[in-house]
Each structure stands twice: as structure tokens, then as C-alpha cells.
């Protein structure tokens, strides 16, 4: 089959590797925002499609049999575009959505819907480990009554103010390192998105052990797709279809 993967995640790379090994023609599309991205096997395209119309045109031009959304759970517009382009072209859409994190007994989580709500519920004087990515960063850094450690993979477009420190690193993160970071920075609040998966889950265990309060931003809802929760399930579903 001819499969187009919307990628940028470890799941997308794993899926491409396994599908190529099975003999499928696989193209992985990357947004192009990450410098020196980890490239998957198969063909790779980098850059946006130009909205729903552009993605639909690419599906038709490439005679794509399956569109797979293996982007981050908070990828945003591209996941919405995938739903619309699938509907327009009739190309089936398979979405890999890793299971959401759930609080362990005794964990101190506050659930919010948006980044602005998360920023607003920080108390004055909070020392915050911020792991929400680039989107909405300015809403947090407007809180000059708080101190921030901003952890990102890529350098942000905006300047980091004096009440924040930029920490650039790439997951996975281990529990001992997360405890050392939070303890050393005297973190009182962890603000994160409910990405799920194991690569960044250690921060939640570290927060619980240290009594750090977690502000968890809910996942967006993207619309109808054939949804699976793992690469294994995706390979099975595509193999059944082929």
C-alpha cells in the first residue's frame, strides 16, 4: 500500500520502519520546525501542505491508500486538516493517539482546558517547570510574579525574560534526572500537556515524590478517525486493510 504518515514523533518513526520492512511505500511528512530531526525510513517530505486543500491534493496526487496521523497529541491544525482532507478525498484516516496520563493516588493535579487557564491559575511566587512547548509560551511568561524553567527542544522565537531560564534538551527523561532538576530549581509547580507515553512521564513521578503541584492541560478533540493507541495496533489495522 501507499501510506502517508504525518510524523514528528517516536511512534511515527517506529511505524515507518515497520511498514517499510513489510514492503509498503511509506512517506513521512515532517512540519520542519525541528532542527536536525530524527528521520524515519522511507521517503520524507518536509514542510506544510498549504491547508486542507494542499493536503487533499497531495493525497490524490500520490494515490495514497491510507493517511496516518502519528503527530503529537497537541499537534493542532495539521490533525484538524487531516480529518477534513480524509473526508474530502475518501482516503481513510488512521490516528495513533497514545493513552493519556492519569493521576496516581495521592498526586496533586489541577486539570485545565487551555494554556491561558493554566497560566492564570499559577499562584504568585510559584517556581514553575514549564513543559508545554512553544505554543502559548508568552501567556506564561507574562506572569512576572512567577519564576520559570522553560524546557524546550528548540530555541523559542521569543526572547526569554529575566524571570525565566531556558533549558534545551530532548527526551527521554529519567526519574533521577527529573527529581534532581525539580529539587535543584526548587520547583513548586509543573505545567504540562497530557501527551501520554513513556518518554516524558518521569516528570509526573518526580512531581509526586517531591510534592510538586501539577497543572495538566487537556487534550484537544480533532474529530472522527479510525483510532488506535499504539504502533502495534496501527500495524495490525493497516495489515488487515491491505
User: Could you tell me whether strands 127-131 and 189-193 are parallel, antiparallel, or unpaired per DSSP bridges?
Assistant: parallel
Per-residue model confidence as pLDDT tens digits over 159-200: 999 999 999 998 899 999 999 999 999 999 999 999 998 889
In the block, which residue shows the cell 501520554? 196
> What is the signed CA dihedral for 106, 108, 111, 112, rounded to 10 degrees?
180
Q: Residue 40 CB: number of other CB atoms within 10 A?
A: 24
State the residue for C-alpha cell 511568561: 141
Which residues are CB-contacts of 221 (< 8 A; sequence separation ≥ 6)? none
Rounded alpha-carbon distances, angstroms, from residue 120 to 114, 132, 191, 204 = 10, 15, 12, 21
Instruction: Return per-residue pLDDT of the chain as tens, 242 residues.
Output: 999 999 989 899 999 999 999 999 999 999 876 666 778 899 999 999 999 999 999 999 999 999 999 998 888 899 999 999 999 999 999 999 989 999 999 899 999 999 999 999 999 999 999 999 998 999 999 999 999 999 999 899 899 999 999 999 988 999 999 999 999 999 999 999 999 988 899 999 999 999 999 999 999 888 999 999 999 999 999 999 87
DSSP string, 169-186: --S---HHHHHHHHHHTT
Q: Count of residues for the chain?
A: 242
Residue 23's contacts (CB-CB under 8 Å, 6 or more residues apart) are none
Q: How many CB atoms lie within 10 A of CB 189?
A: 22
Angle at 43 between CA 40 and CA 46, to 5 degrees: 80
Measured CA distances, 218 to 100, 117, 193 (Å): 9, 11, 7
Q: What is the pLDDT of residues 227-237, one digit of tens each?
A: 999 999 999 99
Distance in angstroms (rounded) separating the CA atoms of residues 119 and 47: 31
How far apart, in whole angstroms, are the C-alpha atoms of residue 14 and residue 80? 23
Domains and CATH numbers, the chain: 2-99+221-241 (3.40.50.720), 109-217 (3.40.50.720)
- What pTM did the predictor assign? 0.82
CA–CA dist 121, 241 (Å, integer): 46
Task: Tell me which H or E stretch contains 208.
Answer: helix 202-210
Residue 86 parent element (H or E) = helix 77-89
CB atoms within 10 A of CB 101: 19
Amino acid at each position: 500500500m501507499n501510506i502517508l504518515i504525518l510524523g514528528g514523533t517516536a511512534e511515527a518513526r517506529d511505524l515507518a520502519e515497520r511498514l517499510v520492512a513489510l514492503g509498503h511505500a511509506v512517506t513521512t511528512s515532517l512540519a520542519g520546525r525541528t532542527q536536525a530531526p530524527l528521520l524515519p525510513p522511507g521517503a520524507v517530505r518536509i514542510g506544510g501542505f498549504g491547508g486542507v486543500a494542499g493536503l487533499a491534493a497531495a493525497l490524490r496526487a500520490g494515490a495514497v491508500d491510507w493517511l496516518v496521523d502519528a503527530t503529537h497529541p497537541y499537534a493542532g491544525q495539521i490533525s484538524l486538516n487531516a480529518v477534513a482532507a480524509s473526508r474530502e478525498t475518501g482516503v481513510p484516516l488512521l490516528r495513533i493517539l497514545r493513552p493519556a496520563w492519569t493521576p496516581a493516588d495521592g498526586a496533586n493535579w489541577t486539570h485545565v482546558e487551555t494554556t491561558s487557564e493554566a497560566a492564570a491559575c499559577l499562584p504568585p511566587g510559584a517556581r514553575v517547570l514549564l513543559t508545554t512547548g512553544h505554543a502559548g509560551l508568552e501567556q506564561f511568561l507574562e506572569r512576572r510574579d512567577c519564576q520559570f524553567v522553560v524546557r524546550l527542544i528548540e530555541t523559542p522565537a521569543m526572547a526569554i525574560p529575566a524571570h525565566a531560564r531556558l533549558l534545551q534538551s530532548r527526551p527521554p527523561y529519567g526519574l533521577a534526572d527529573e527529581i534532581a532538576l525539580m529539587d535543584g530549581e526548587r520547583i513548586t509547580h509543573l505545567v504540562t500537556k497530557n501527551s501520554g507515553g513513556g518518554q516524558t512521564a518521569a516528570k509526573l513521578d518526580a512531581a509526586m515524590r517531591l510534592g510538586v503541584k501539577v497543572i495538566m492541560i487537556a487534550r484537544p478533540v480533532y474529530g472522527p478517525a479510525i483510532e488506535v493507541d499504539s504502533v502495534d495496533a496501527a500495524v495490525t489495522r493497516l495489515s488487515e486493510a491491505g
